[in-house]
Amino acid sequence: MSLMISTVAIKKTASELGADLCGIASVDRFQEAPKGFHPTDVLPACKSVIILASRFLKSTLDGKSTVPYTTVRDELKTKMNRMAVKLSEYLEEHKMTAIPMNSTGPDEWDAESGKFRGIISLKHAAVLAGLGKMGKNTLLVNEQFGNMIWLSGVFVGENLEADPIAPYEGCIKNCTLCLDSCPVKALDGISINQPLCRNYAFGEHNGGEWRIKCYICRKVCPNCTGIRK
């Protein structure tokens, strides 16, 4: 089947919808995806995965209150979900199979690892789509925006031209700031103790409503807002 639209046009449309970055990965790159959380577990005919990214307002890290950070996160969640739906609509109008990928939640339980997961890992998919590298804090680190980005994506049933894997490193060699700064020691440089992190970082605060209460591992990263040259 010949494509009705080019990857250049797809990325242009993603930009017009509000994406700061757009990367494409071939489904062949997802060989290490956990069982049940592979792109073909969502779309059996998936051939390509499009990852969309928007920058996170970095000034929220300087606030004494965590409410602004939570507000921006909630707004980006809505924005990224809408963006994925709109891009899927655009692709479907051009005779392509396209299913939007949620930005944050609802999660699914992975009994094998004992963790909650998205239908696929957006951060790992972004690595495979050339948008960055995984940091020791388990956050995606992008060359331009550091770890201050939010993601969503689209599963596509056609073969698209894949982007090259990012050539840079996400972390400075021997840096352990995120590991040392974690209040509950949930990081080991490779993975995260999900219950420890979630129980500490998310929930009610001082009798108030739900919010994100901790993002120290994001804030202390030397490459928080871009890769240091």
Question: Residue 48: enclosing H or E segment and its boundaries?
Answer: strand 48-55
- Structurally, how many domains does the chain consist of? 2
Q: What is the pLDDT along the chain (229 residues), one digit of tens a residue?
A: 445 689 999 999 999 999 999 999 999 999 999 999 999 999 999 999 999 999 999 999 999 999 999 999 999 999 999 999 999 999 999 999 999 999 998 999 999 888 999 999 999 999 999 999 999 999 999 999 999 999 999 999 999 999 999 999 999 999 999 999 999 999 999 999 999 999 999 999 888 899 999 999 999 999 999 987 6
Whether 213 and 123 share a structural domain: no
Whether 198 and 85 share a structural domain: no
Please tell me the distance from the alpha carbon of residue 169 to that of residue 166, in angstroms, as a whole number.
Answer: 8
Whether 33 and 124 share a structural domain: yes
* pLDDT computed for residue 1 by the predictor: 42
* N-terminal to C-terminal alpha carbon distance within the chain: 43
Q: What residues contact 91, with CB distance under 8 A and at least 6 apart? A: 5, 10, 97, 98, 154, 156
Eight-class DSSP state of 198: H
Whether 100 and 33 share a structural domain: yes
Please tell me the distance from the alpha carbon of residue 167 to that of residue 184, in angstroms, as a whole number.
Answer: 32
Whether 140 and 71 share a structural domain: yes
Whether 36 and 76 share a structural domain: yes
Whether 99 and 198 share a structural domain: no
Whether 193 and 145 share a structural domain: no
* pLDDT computed for residue 207 by the predictor: 85
Q: What residues contact 37, with CB distance under 8 A and at least 6 apart? A: 108, 110, 117, 118, 119, 120, 121
Whether 146 and 39 share a structural domain: yes
SS (H, E, C) 51-120: EEEEECCHHHHHCCCCHHHHHHHHHHHHHHHHHHHHHHHHHHHCCCCEEEECCCCCCEEECCCCEEECCC
Domain extent, residue 89, equals: 7-156
Q: How far is CA 124 from the centre of its chain?
A: 8
Whether 48 and 84 share a structural domain: yes
* pLDDT computed for residue 5 by the predictor: 87
* pLDDT computed for residue 164 by the predictor: 98
Please tell me the distance from the alpha carbon of residue 102 to that of residue 204, in angstroms, as a whole number.
Answer: 24
Tell me if 161 is assigned to some domain: no
Whether 146 and 213 share a structural domain: no
* pLDDT computed for residue 2 by the predictor: 47
Residues listed for the chain = 229
Whether 152 and 191 share a structural domain: no
